[in-house]
Every structure is written in C-alpha cells, then in structure tokens.
Amino acid sequence: MALVLPRSSTAAHPPSLHPAYTSTVLRAPREPLVLVPHTLTELTGPVYGQGKVRDSDADLTTQHGGEPLGERIIVTGRVLDEDGRPVPNALVELWQANAAGRYVHVRDQHPAPLDPNFTGAGRYLTGEDGRYRFTTVRPGAYPWRNHHNAWRPAHIHFSVFGPSFVSRLVTQMYFPGDPLFPFDPIFNGIPDERARNRLIARFDLAVTQPEWALGYQFDIVLRGREATPTEEPHEH
C-alpha cells in the first residue's frame, strides 16, 4: 500500500497571491516554486498518538464552569482521501470565535463581548471510519480591516493531518447561505466555485438533536490516495 500524491489535485487551492486579500501582497513568493520529486520525506508525516486526545477536547461547551452563550451546534464529518476512503487516526484541530464574533485571542480587540464560558479550541482523533464530531456554538461574523466595511463570514478554522506531511491542510468551514460570501476575499481566493462550495457545511436534520442542537456535516478531503499495484508510488 503505497501513497501517491497527484499534483493536479492541488489546483483546488487558492494561489498564494490574491491581491483582494491585501495581506497576501507582501507574503506571497514571487519566484516560481521549484518542482521536486516525492521522496520518503514528503510521503511520510507525523503519526499522532491515540492517548493524547481526551474525549473532553471535542466538546467546546463544557470546558468552563458554565455553558457558553449562543446557538449550540454539532459539527461532524469524515476525513477522506482523494478516492473517498476514510483517513483513520487523523488529528483534527479546530478553533473559532464565540457567538458574538469575538476571539479569545489577545490580539482580537473587536468591541464584542468575550464569553467567560467559551475558549473556542478543540481536538479530535478520527476513528477507523474517518469521522470526527464536535459540540460547540455557532460563531458570529466579525469585522476586519482588509477594506472598508469588511466582515468575515461566520467560520470555524480546521487544521487536519493526513497520511503525509504534504497532505496537511489548514482550512475554514463556512455555514450555508451566508450573505457575506460574495464580499469575502479569503473565501473567494479559491478560484473554482465548486471547490469553494466544498468548504460550506451542510445542515443535516439527522445529526440535529431534538431540544438540544442543530447538526452540520462537513467532510474534509485530503491530498493522497493509495497506489494501485501497477502504479509507480514515487512520482518523478
């Protein structure tokens, strides 16, 4: 079972330079990337230990003395490879603003209230079926200074480890129907509309729990797939 990492799939990602997102202008390289073969270095990656993630890391509503304010939600989905196979033992890390759109981060000075009962960070290690599941509150939209009257659509940050170091993905999950989508240069930095829409979670009544919480499904597809026996695992 050898891993292959098709380069063509990475066209789904945004380019490094997207001038509408002004912070990219001085942080995107100008020289072309140097194409290199996939060696053992690229084809391997960190393996996270089962014992290191606690069950309580997945419930962001029970990390303090009381319950956070906001709309309680369940966010679940599968981490998949490019062929749709589940990725087991994948570390999923998540962080987000509170219901008022305020991050607990010291550098967030947006005049919205902090919630003493909400930090907004969690972790999950996927099972054999590749599934993760978090309980949290729906984050609020918040302003930023990219351009006049700039607001980020509500989102949850995801960090995911796959089968190799170059499968690693940091992304954001959005909520269906957000009116801020057309105005957000980060979301629209992804050139392909179908690829953009893969970052929008799907409301799911089957995940929704009566009298308790709305449910959303968000599958995450990582780079990499298993080579068929006739394929050369190391691409040159």
Partner 1 sequence: MSTEPADTRPDGLSPSQTVGPFFHYGLTPGTAYGHVPVSVDGQVAAPGTPGEPIVLTGRVIDGAGDPVPDAMLEIWQADSDGRYAHPDDGRPRASNSFTGFGRSDTTADGTYRFTTIKPGRVPGPGGGEQAPHILVAVFGRGMLKQLFTRVYFDDEASNAEDPILALVPEARRGTLIAKRDGDTFTLDIRLQGEGETVFFDV
- The catalytic residues are 103, 142, 152, 155, 157
Alpha-carbon distance 67 to 60, whole Å?
Answer: 9
Alpha-carbon distance 99 to 120, whole Å?
Answer: 10
Subset of 167-196 contacting partner 1 (CB under 8 A): 168-172, 186-187, 189-190, 192, 194-196
226 binds partner 1 (CB under 8 A): no
Q: How far is the CB of 35 from partner 1 (least distance, A)?
A: 5
CB within 8 Å of 196: residues ≥ 6 apart:
187, 188, 190
Query: Residue 135: phi, psi to the nearest 5?
Result: -110, 130
Task: Spell out, one character per residue from 127 to 156, where the chain touches partner 1: x when CB under 8 A holds, - when not.
Answer: ------------------------------
Q: How far is the CB of 30 from partner 1 (least distance, A)?
A: 6
Q: Are strands 72-80 and 214-217 parallel, antiparallel or unpaired?
A: parallel
Subset of 11-30 contacting partner 1 (CB under 8 A): 12-16, 18, 21-30
202 binds partner 1 (CB under 8 A): yes
Which region, left, alpha or beta, applies to residue 196 given φ > 0 means left and ψ of -120 to 50 means alpha?
A: alpha
Angle, CA of 194, 220 and 63, to the nearest 5°:
130
Task: Spell out, one character per residue from 93 to 132, where the chain touches partner 1: x when CB under 8 A holds, - when not.
Answer: xxx-x-----xxxxxx----------xxx-x---------
Which tokens belong to 130? 């590749």
Subset of 30-69 contacting partner 1 (CB under 8 A): 30-31, 33-48, 52-54, 57, 63-64
5 binds partner 1 (CB under 8 A): yes
